[in-house]
Chains A and B, each alone.
Chain A
Amino acid sequence: MANDREILREVWEGKLPVCFKLHPDEVVELQQPDPFYLMVPRLSYFPLVTDKVKKHFLKYVSNDKQDHEMWLEYNGQPMKWHFPIGVLYDFLVEGETETLPWIVMVHFDKFPETQIYRFSNKEMVESYFMACLKEADVLKHRGQIAANMQKKDHNQLWLGLQNDKFDQFWAVNRKLMEVSGESEHFKYIPFRCYLEDGYKQKLVRPVTDEGKRKTLQDLLKEMFPEKTMVNVKIHGMTPPLDTPLQWMSEHLSYPDNFLHLCIF
């Protein structure tokens, strides 16, 4: 079970300063709107933190676009809001261009529906988040812990994330991070490796057949046997390659219970 609590809190409190700008093509007023600055939690999702951004820019776009869904762009690419904010930043903002605040373009027109999800309401974000959480539990405990939880526990997880309440979230999440029965580790490690054209998933166990603990390096070997040098980034840092996988999964997973590893 996750017991290095100060690390969990450190990860939870990771924040990014973001500067939102309305794309100049969408401004119909004579005066350009001021950019909107926000400090956003790395572990959250953009639709959960951008209500104020939308409100701020809405008066500058034409009337017929006011009920359109707002979407965000960075470097010419629509941002996949269903990835946690920290994953987007670590993956999209390359080393040299890493300046803060992170400048993000706001759009209301031409929603890129084939590339990113619609999020007409927060239930949709919740539904997606819960589906991920459940998938992670299928990998860790064959789905048994999530399935045996009550509706109020699910609500608590969701509200904890939405309202940025560490204690509320972890009171329930700790159950998902426990190992069940006699086993000393999860069945498989829930993770995704982000590459240029999407992400890769595989079934990777936290221990070898002989029962030896696997490390991040072992995971990378299993994922990319042909590559000799792989760089990983998570929560804005490069974890040591000898970090045990089970520990990583318990302490460095995002709230959806997945390790989101950006690969360079």
Chain B
Amino acid sequence: MACPTTNQKTNACIGRLATAKRPKSAVLSVSWSLTIIMDTGFSYDTFEKCIQQMYAVSSSLLDGWQLENKESLDQKFLMKKQPLHLDGPDGTKFLVTFEYHIVYNICYGVPVLCFNIWKQDGCMLTLEEYWSMNANMNDSNVYDTLTQMDHPVLCRPFLTLHPCKTAEIMQPFLTKSKNLVVSWLSVVGHFVHLRLLEDYIKCC
């Protein structure tokens, strides 16, 4: 009867190894050779239902998400501004305002998280400045993970978590979650200082 025990042990070890080898931000980085694009079947209509639901939660919590619409494109997206203290390179804290947008990307057929960060003097934090202050992503390559891209609706520059891995991140939730946008955000949000209150998780 020794075999099963050994096997269990080995499996547990392999499990640990697999987790240990995978840097915590690997899930976000754009690795061309490893990318598997899957058809999520995640349509714009499903996206809109998800963000409507989030907006309803936010309206009861008053935590600041706004539902925006661009008439000429008939595309809705969520937007939120949030002040936050970031750790500066010299250890000091300084106050910035994040402006997060959750938008639908038509090419990838997935939600996209894009944002801009404003300093108190009204200037924007650059990609490199933010990178140097973001301990969540130190072990990945900046240009593979965050890209300055056009906002899919507003066509203005925003720092964007590259959408090419999103389908993969969403895959495990596809059949289980009732709100895929919330499920996906709960995975990727904290990499860029966005945290959702537990009330949202109940939507899933």
Contacts and interface: CB of A to CB of B under 8 A. Distances in A.
Interface of A: 82, 113-118, 120, 123-124, 126-128, 131, 134-135, 138-139, 142-144, 146-151, 154, 190, 197-203
A142 B147 contact: no
Nearest to A123: B143
Interface stretch (B48-56, B78-86, B151-159, B174-182): B151-159
Given A128-B149, A148-B33, 6 more contacts: A115-B157, A123-B143, A135-B107, A142-B39, A147-B35, A198-B155
Nearest to A200: B73
Contacts of A116: 157
Interface string B119-160: 000011011100000000000000110011110101111000
A199 B155 contact: yes
A15 B12 CA distance: 62
Given A123-B143, A135-B108, A203-B106, A114 B124 contact: yes
Contacts of A200: 73
A134 B108 CA distance: 10
Nearest to B35: A147
Contacts, number: 77
A138 B143 contact: no
A127 B146 CA distance: 9
B107 A201 contact: yes
Contacts of A82: 150
> Could you say which interface size class chain B belongs to?
20 to 34
B46 to A, nearest CB: 15
A197 B155 contact: yes
Given A115-B156, A138-B108, A151-B32, A143 B149 contact: no
The listed residue with most B CB atoms (<10 A of its CB), out of A127, A148, A202, is: A127
A120 B164 CA distance: 24
Contact of A113 (B30, B73, B124, B154): B124
Contact of B126 (A118, A202, A203): A118
B114 to A, nearest CB: 13
A109 B147 CA distance: 24
B33 A150 contact: yes
17 contacts: A113-B123, A114-B124, A124-B127, A124-B143, A128-B148, A131-B30, A134-B32, A139-B107, A143-B37, A143-B164, A146-B32, A147-B33, A148-B33, A149-B33, A190-B107, A199-B155, A202-B106
Contacts of A198: 150, 154-155
B157 to A, nearest CB: 5
A147 B143 contact: no
B36 interface: yes
Given A124-B148, A131-B149, A138 B107 contact: yes
A147 B37 CA distance: 9
Contacts of B39: 142
Contacts of B152: 201
Contacts of B155: 197-199
Nearest to B154: A198
4 residue pairs, one from A and one from B, having the closest CB atoms: A198-B155, A143-B37, A127-B143, A147-B35
A148 B37 CA distance: 11
B146 to A, nearest CB: 9
Contacts of A199: 155
Contacts of A142: 37, 39
A204 B64 CA distance: 36
